[in-house]
Amino acid sequence: MRDFGSWFGEQGSEPKEVDGSAWFECRRCGKSETVGLKAYENGDTGWYVGEEVEADETYHGVCGGSQFCLP
Ligand SMILES: [Zn+2]
């Protein structure tokens, strides 16, 4: 990710405090992982939980990783 780092260097800002992450568990396949809230809100993760998400909380939803893991 050297290019990514250099981009931040050029912009004069730091990649800090990406507004946290939460622990998601899939109801269907049992997969669990830490998901960045920003990525989740941007729809980049495939995860879906039917409620508002906040940092450092645990949520049960679906991971979107297969046909069995859809809302
Ligand atoms: Zn799943």
- Asked whether the predicted pLDDT for residue 1 surpasses 60, the reply is no
CA of residue 47 to ligand 1 center, whole Å:
9
Calpha distance 1→66 (Å, rounded): 28
- For 10-69, write each residue's pLDDT tens digit: 665 555 555 899 999 999 999 999 999 999 999 999 999 999 999 999 999 999 999 999
Are 37 and 49 within 8 A, CB to CB?
no
Q: Quick one: pLDDT at residue 57?
A: 97
Q: Which residues contact 10 (CB under 8 A, 6 or more apart)?
A: none
CA of residue 30 to ligand 1 center, whole Å:
6
Would you list the domain boundaries of the chain?
18-71
CA of residue 44 to ligand 1 center, whole Å:
15
CA of residue 16 to ligand 1 center, whole Å:
29
Q: Quick one: pLDDT at residue 19?
A: 82
pTM over the 0.75 mark = no
> Higher-confidence residue: 9 or 59?
59
